[in-house]
Chain A
Amino acid sequence: MTLDRSLVGTATEPQTFDIEKGAIVRLAEAIGDPCPEYLNGTVAPPTFPTLFNFRLRHPALEAIDPARFIHGDQEYVYERPLRAGDRVTCVTKIAGVTEKETKLGTATFVVTETEGRDDDGELVFTGRATLIVR
């Protein structure tokens, strides 16, 4: 599968994640964030959905050596905070593929959009990222 504009609009299979207390604590500790609600694992820090990425890799990106990726930008928008015990089902779709010149040579900029919904189908968060593939 080549990385080109034909991928725009294609999506991963839905993946369901249980938000575990221990996973929240480990992320807060790795960041060095002293916020009590994060450190005791009740509320997830705003960057928590990064943990979902490893199972939300689009097949076209899966085939690429991870060392060729650079994270260009990232946004998370929350309808409500993620908490321990939550279950969210996420889908990531490719929203854009563009070739650009960079300091490190020609690169492909891939924009992805992720939606996370609860069991009632209510939107919990939206993620938007630009991945630069060299």
Chain B
Amino acid sequence: MKAGEELTPLVKEPVSRVQLVRYAGASGDFNPIHWDPERGAEMGLGGVIAHGMLSMGFLGQYAAGIGGAENVQRLKVRFGAMVRPGDVLTCKGVVREVDGTRATLDIWAENQDGEKVTTGEAEVEIG
């Protein structure tokens, strides 16, 4: 692994309404904007939107897929655009820096239109 190297993309299954309900249950985040279309519309969101943390979860999967389950030392993301049921997210990334056995990765999740919805960075141990 070396700086500038592109990481193999990870294409996730389309985000589904059931997944959002499941994520709500698993995470304890029952904010109605993630499962109640009426509340979502009322808040000006045009329906339900995915938990930001779900897309961060996808990027956590991506980082752990590179470094290993126990080797994600830092994960930071910014939630840029809304994700809705039916969206297909793809995790992509580039190696920013390698320092000994630690790699810093620029990673992001983009939707089917190529829009970056969640952008961030990860530090993984690659020993």
Contacts and interface: CB of A to CB of B under 8 A. Distances in A.
Contacts of B79: 70-74
B25 A26 contact: yes
Contact of B58 (A31, A51, A71, A75): A31
Interface string A16-43: 0000000100110111111111100001
Interface stretch (A7-15, A76-84, A89-97, A106-114): A76-84
B39 A37 contact: no
Interface of B: 12-13, 19, 22-23, 25-33, 39, 42-44, 51-54, 56-58, 60-61, 63-65, 69-79
A37 B70 contact: yes
Contacts, number: 117
A68 interface: yes
Contacts of A26: 22, 25-26
A81 B73 CA distance: 8
Given A30-B22, A33-B61, 20 more contacts: A23-B26, A27-B26, A30-B27, A31-B54, A31-B60, A32-B13, A32-B19, A38-B69, A43-B69, A45-B64, A46-B64, A47-B75, A50-B27, A54-B29, A71-B52, A74-B77, A75-B76, A81-B70, A104-B44, A134-B43
Nearest to B78: A73
A64 B55 CA distance: 24
A72 B78 contact: yes
Contacts of A36: 69
A64 to B, nearest CB: 11
A51 B28 contact: yes
A1 interface: no
Contact of A47 (B32, B39, B56): B56
A54 B72 CA distance: 24
A121 interface: no
Given A32-B13, A38-B69, A46-B63, A78 B74 contact: yes
Contact of A31 (B25, B61, B77): B61
Nearest to A66: B31
Contacts of A46: 60, 63-64, 72, 75
Nearest to B58: A31
